Amino acid sequence: MLGRLLQVVASRWFRLVLVTLLVLSLQTTLFSEIRPFGYSVQLIAIYVAVAGAVHDARVGAIVGLVSGLMYDAVLATPLGISGLVLGAVGSGAALLLQPFRDPTWWLRILAVSVAAALGEVLLPLAKAVVGLGGWLTARVAVVALVTFVGGLVFCTPLIPVTRWTLRERVSIGRR
C-alpha cells in the first residue's frame, strides 16, 4: 500500500499536478496584475504548449486537459472548457513541430507561441459553442497577439521546467 502510494507520489503525473498548481498560482496573482495593454498574458497556455512542444502530442494533450480543468476550477467558466481548449493547445504545439525532424530552438519557441495564441482564439469559440457568447470580438486578435509575444518571452524559461516535470519514462498505467 505504502509502496504503491510512494510510486504515485514519485510519478511524473503527480509532479505535473504540483507544478501546474504553482504555474496556476502565478497566473492568478502576478500575471493577472501585470497586464500589457490591459490584457493578461496566459502563462498557463504557454506552459501547456511548451509541454507539447518538448514532448509529444499525447503528453501535451494530457498536460493541457489537466491544467485546463484546474484553471476552470479557479475561474467562473464552466468546468471543462479550458480543459478541452488547453488540451488542443498542448497537442497542437506538438503537431506544429511534427513535420520537422529536429526542430531548432527558435522554431520550437515559434510553435509554442503560435499554439498558445491559437488557444486564446479557441477559448471564446468554445464558450460560444456552449452558449456563452459575446467574447468573439476584435479584441480576440489583440489577446492572441499579447499571448504570442508572451510565448516568445516565457517559452525559454518554461522548457527546463516542463522537462523536469515530465522527465520520468514510466507512463500511465505501468506497474
Partner 1 sequence: MAQGKTNLTRAVLLLALASVFLITLDLGDSNSTSRVRRLFDTVFAPVENVSRVVTRPLSDAWNSFRAYDDVVAENNRLKEQVALQEGAAVAAAASVRLSQELLALNGLPTLAGINSVTAQVIGETPSNFSQTVEINQGSNSGIKVGMPVLNAAGLIGKVTEVFADRALVMLLSDPDYALSVKVVTKSSRTPVTLPPLPTEDAPTVDSVLDSSQTSTTSSTTTTTTTILGFTPTVTTIPAEIISGGGSNITVPIASQLSVRETGILEGRGPGSQPIVRFLDATTRAEAIEVGAPIVSAGGSRSLAPPDIVIGVVSRVVERLGTAGPVLEVELVADLSNLSFLRVLLYQPITETGR
Q: Which residues in this chain contact partner 1 in the complex, by CB under 8 A?
A: 21-22, 24-34, 38-40, 42, 58-59, 61-62, 65-66, 68-70, 72-81, 83-84, 87, 91, 120, 123-124, 127, 130-135, 137, 139, 143, 171-174
78/160 with CB nearer partner 1? 78
CB of 141 to partner 1, least distance (A): 12
40/107 with CB nearer partner 1? 40
9/21 with CB nearer partner 1? 21
d(CA 9, CA 105): 32
Give the C-alpha distances (Å, rounded to integers) separating 2 from 7, 154, 168, 170, 175: 8, 38, 20, 19, 14
CB of 3 to partner 1, least distance (A): 21
114: phi then psi, degrees, rounded to nearest 5: -65, -45
6/79 with CB nearer partner 1? 79
CB of 106 to partner 1, least distance (A): 26
CB of 111 to partner 1, least distance (A): 19
DSSP annotation of 34: -
CB of 110 to partner 1, least distance (A): 21
Amino acid at residue number 103: P
d(CA 107, CA 34): 27
8 A C-beta contact, residue 159 and residue 51:
no
107/134 with CB nearer partner 1? 134
User: What cell does 1 get?
Assistant: 500500500
